[in-house]
Structure 1
């Protein structure tokens, strides 16, 4: 019984670590997207975040996905490939 509980605890901790890693990666991506908007539009970090949130809510797209689309499209203006570079059309989010 004690060994089984120890294994469960170990699995729970692994899951928590994975979740924290995912959250940090998303936070970094949102930070990069904010930086792009700040540079492009001469706005503050708070204003950039508000724009990302507004786009997320308006398009019913997760904030992390909006950020990924912006970061993935940076420097490739007019490129109509999907964010993964495999072709197809991107979902319009009004990020630019």
Structure 2
């Protein structure tokens, strides 16, 4: 895994000094660059946007719901891998963290030698999840385009008495002649149909 990750550490306002030192030591030992250590407050989204970290580490000894709310807001426009170190082993806390986009939820695991492997696994998991989400979004887009094209074909079939193949060929020819993607032409046809009623 790449060790030149730019990491932002987020902690509750009243963080234990021993926990902070253990986390800083683990990051330094693993060769990671800690670009900032920030309190979880309403300025967090601005700081994250300005710093553009590659990964976010959250250190929350106990209930981290307030911290999670700030993180959701701070990462809603650009997702990042998030690792949470906590002492909270309640199932509902874990579920809330995963729903907020946390890639790794580590209970009682703040030993410096464990930090690098945890971050490496979280990064791999985040990349895999991002790839799956991108593929899902691509599939959704293709399905939406397919529906547009099918509806535009239906208009040609109804208005001009064409078969489905003839309607598709007509759409394809028109798209090539106008230098448009098939879905773009289909959308224009549907928009015109809506206007004309």
Alpha-carbon offset, residue 75 of structure 1: 4.4
- Please list, as runs of the form range in 1=range in 2, the aligned pairs for 1:1-96 lying within 5 A after superposition: 1-77=120-196
Whichever structure has more strand as a proportion of its residues is: 2
Secondary structure, aligned partner of 1:76: helix
Stretches of structure 1 that go unaligned for 5 or more consecutive residues are 80-96
Question: Deviation digits for residues 56-84 of structure 1, max 9, x if unmatched?
Answer: 1011011111000111111433x9xxxxx
**Quick one: distance in 1 between partners of 2:163 and 2:150?**
12
The structure with the greater share of residues assigned to helix is: 1
Q: Distance in 1 between matches of 2:125 and 2:194?
A: 49
- The two structures, once aligned, show a CA RMSD in angstroms of 1.4
Larger Rg: 2
Aligned pair count? 78
Q: Which has the higher contact order (CA 8 A, sep 6+)?
A: 1
Gaps of 5+ in 2: 1-119
Structure 1 segments (4+ residues) deviating >6 Å: none
